[in-house]
Amino acid sequence: MKPTSPVLTGIGSVTPYGPLAGLISTGPLEPSAITAWTTPGLRRAFLVEAFRPASIVPGLKTRRLDRLSAWALVASSLALRDAGIDLAKMDRSRIAVFFATGFGCVELTEAFFQSAATHGWAETDPIIFPETLSNAPASHVALFHDLHGPNVTISSQGFAAESALLQASSLLRHGQADLAIVLAGDTLTQAIYEWYEAAHLLSPPCFSKEQLPSAGGFIPSEGVVAMVLEPTGRQESRPYAALGAGRWAVGGDARTGVRQLLGDATPTFTICTGNGGPCASRHTTCSARDLVGEDATIYPSQPVATGIGDASALLHLLLALSRRPGAGDALLLATSVDGGFAALRLELF
């Protein structure tokens, strides 16, 4: 990695594993039954259990926020804590926030639609409307931490989190920020879940505990993962990883793109963010083995709870780091059926 490579120094997450700073120590999860709305039978997903944000981040007020914004605030706080960042000592005008999401603030968007359905468009709720905007979570992160740097909410079909990582790294490399908090996440709502179901995208274990997850489809999940990126040399503690070059494209030839990125290098580990397993976030098949060779070690080797839509890559990366594959070169890789791919070189410490 070059001396200018951004390094990953802090991780915070609110996922089905709970709110956590740093790595995840617990093993694979089972999906749980959906009770937040009436379902026509058993319906399961990887869900975030309700918790009180102020119990994790003292003083945090989230009463008027949707879960996505609340989770973003908790995850970003935990990531900064994990990185040992004292914001009082930082130039907050040079701290950027990137938020990757597939669907944005769907909970309050649905609430706004509900308000229109009940009272008509002429009588909708002015408190809800601004919180339906996709950039609300990133704005709340800036507001809560008093961060005045670039504030970007990003979405990219299949590759939102990867895109956010690459764009944030770019900002750091070009000196447009001194530190970036990169977040990625989505919430699972009735409208989203039933859309997956209507589109026949769900895996059999969504409907029965007895079903094996090998029959295709995926199990939806929800949550937010936050990561702190800093330029090499600025961090005070040993980072988790350094971020190298990356590329992404939405179509074409993934093999050529990945080869161009890797050159002669062969990564020791490949962290596959769309492994085709039934619990993977995407219903596309990641042909990682085909792209990086038969001898490569690919994570995850087993299906994991990682389905946070387009924004799942940060959770995949967190889970891979949590399995402690050891030090070495790694490749964060996702592919799509259209030949699209996102690939990011990493050095794991």
Partner 1 sequence: MVSPYGVGLSRLHAGMLAGQCCLEPVSELYPGFQGTVAAVGSLPLLHDGHHYSRSDRLAMVAARDAVGEIADSYPTFHESGIVMASTVAGLTEIDPEIAQGPAAWYRHGGLSRAASYSVSRVSASVGEHLGIQGPACAVSVACASGALAIALAANMLLDEAAPMVLAGGSDALCPFTLSGFNSLQALDRDPCRPFDQDRKGLNLGEGAAVLVLETLAHATQRGARVLAVLRGWAMTNDASHPTAPQKDGIELAACIHRAMEMAECSIDEIGYVNAHGTGTPLNDIAETHAYERAFHGRSQPIPVSSTKSYFGHCLGAAGALEAAITITSVRTGSLFPTLRLNNPIESSKIDWLHGEVRRQPLPVAMSVSAGFGGSNVALVFGSHSA
* Range 205-264, binding partner 1 (CB under 8 A): 247-252
C-beta closer to partner 1: residue 24 or 242: 242
Q: Rounded to the nearest whole angstrom, what is the least distance from the CB of residue 310 to partner 1 in the complex? A: 7
Q: Rounded to the nearest whole angstrom, what is the least distance from the CB of residue 77 to partner 1 in the complex? A: 15
Determine the Cα–Cα distance for residues 265 and 329; give it in Å rounded to an integer: 9
Q: Rounded to the nearest whole angstrom, what is the least distance from the CB of residue 29 to partner 1 in the complex? A: 26
Determine the Cα–Cα distance for residues 219 and 303; give it in Å rounded to an integer: 10
Q: Rounded to the nearest whole angstrom, what is the least distance from the CB of residue 144 to partner 1 in the complex? A: 9
C-beta closer to partner 1: residue 25 or 118: 118
Q: What's the 3-state SS for 49-117? A: CCCCHHHHCCCCCCCCCCHHHHHHHHHHHHHHHHHCCCHHHCCHHHEEEEEECCCCCHHHHHHHHHHHH
Among 22, 53, 104, 217, binds partner 1 (CB under 8 A): 104
Q: Rounded to the nearest whole angstrom, what is the least distance from the CB of residue 134 to partner 1 in the complex? A: 4
Q: Is 171 in the site for partner 1 (CB under 8 A)?
A: yes
| Binders of partner 1 in range 290-349 (CB under 8 A) | 310, 338-340
Residues 131, 69 contacting (CB under 8 angstroms): yes
Residues 307, 322 contacting (CB under 8 angstroms): no
Helix (H) or strand (E) holding 330: strand 328-335
| Binders of partner 1 in range 26-85 (CB under 8 A) | 40
Q: Is 284 in the site for partner 1 (CB under 8 A)?
A: no
C-beta closer to partner 1: residue 222 or 310: 310
- The strand pairing partners of 230, in sequence order, are 7
Residues 79, 240 contacting (CB under 8 angstroms): no
Determine the Cα–Cα distance for residues 162 and 249; give it in Å rounded to an integer: 11
For residue 40, say if its preceding peptide bond is cis, omega within 30 degrees of 0: no
Helix (H) or strand (E) holding 229: strand 223-231
C-beta closer to partner 1: residue 212 or 337: 337
| Binders of partner 1 in range 115-144 (CB under 8 A) | 116-117, 120-126, 129-136, 138-140, 142-143
DSSP 208: -
Query: How many chain residues are in contact with partner 1, going by CB under 8 A?
Result: 75
Q: Is 173 in the site for partner 1 (CB under 8 A)?
A: yes
Q: Rounded to the nearest whole angstrom, what is the least distance from the CB of residue 343 to partner 1 in the complex? A: 11
Q: Is 97 in the site for partner 1 (CB under 8 A)?
A: yes
Among 76, 109, 287, 312, binds partner 1 (CB under 8 A): 109
